[in-house]
Chain A
Amino acid sequence: GAVVSQHPSWVICKSGTSVKIECRSLDFQATTMFWYRQFPKQSLMLMATSNEGSKATYEQGVEKDKFLINHASLTLSTLTVTSAHPEDSSFYICSAREHRLKEAYEQYFGPGTRLTVT
């Protein structure tokens, strides 16, 4: 199957700093990418949907000015957590949708990035 990578796999940062997480589709073009957040023992929560070349669509309750998403190309999307605080510590997972027939797409997930804010 198609591969989605994330970088870094884990990061520790100090409160008040910003952190950028990259999501890449390695062997396919992804017109749409998704960002999820997952807290311990909980399910994945969708944060936003990004389409290449356009602004991201954020889910209700997700601060767009705090979680900046850039989908600059068909293989790269970035999530920047600005002015991070300890409550932003979480597991961030991206996924990419392969550009195929509308009714038969596949969505692939990255390995996740563990963010710890101290």
Chain B
Amino acid sequence: LAKTTQPISMDSYEGQEVNITCSHNNIATNDYITWYQQFPSQGPRFIIQGYKTKVTNEVASLFIPADRKSSTLSLPRVSLSDTAVYYCLVRGYNKLIFGAGTRLAVHP
């Protein structure tokens, strides 16, 4: 299973764009990159998933360079409610192993 590395914590302010980068140097050909969000005392919530290039949905964008050894989750104009832990995972057709995640704090 590919290991992921992401910053332990980040701080931002309301209205700013937040980019969280994750490195996954030994990603396999069949692996997808998936991001989850977790609030305290809740289960993780799926944010976005991609294989290569750029993926965008109503809440975030995911940028994946050609070598796929890293990915960047972009949250446009964050609000206080985006304060949470964000997990980057790399997975094939197998179990999901969570890393430490990035604790994002959004300030007024």
Contacts and interface: CB of A to CB of B under 8 A. Distances in A.
Interface of A: 1, 4, 6, 34, 36, 43-46, 49, 91, 93, 95, 102-103, 105-112, 114
Nearest to B36: A109
Nearest to B92: A103
Nearest to A42: B100
Interface residues of B, number: 17
Contacts of B35: none
Most B C-beta atoms less than 10 A away, residue of A1, A44, A93:
A44
Contacts of B41: 91, 112, 114
Contacts, number: 46
A1 B46 contact: yes
Contact of B93 (A102, A108, A114): A102
Contacts of A111: 42-43
21 contacts: A4-B43, A6-B43, A34-B95, A43-B98, A43-B100, A44-B44, A44-B87, A45-B98, A46-B96, A46-B97, A49-B95, A95-B96, A102-B93, A103-B93, A106-B46, A108-B46, A109-B44, A109-B45, A112-B42, A112-B43, A114-B41
Contact of A46 (B43, B45, B93, B95): B95
Nearest to A48: B95
B68 to A, nearest CB: 15
A46 B101 CA distance: 15
Contact of B101 (A43, A95, A106): A43
B55 to A, nearest CB: 13
Given A109-B43, A112-B42, A34 B30 contact: no
Contacts of B100: 43
A6 B99 CA distance: 23
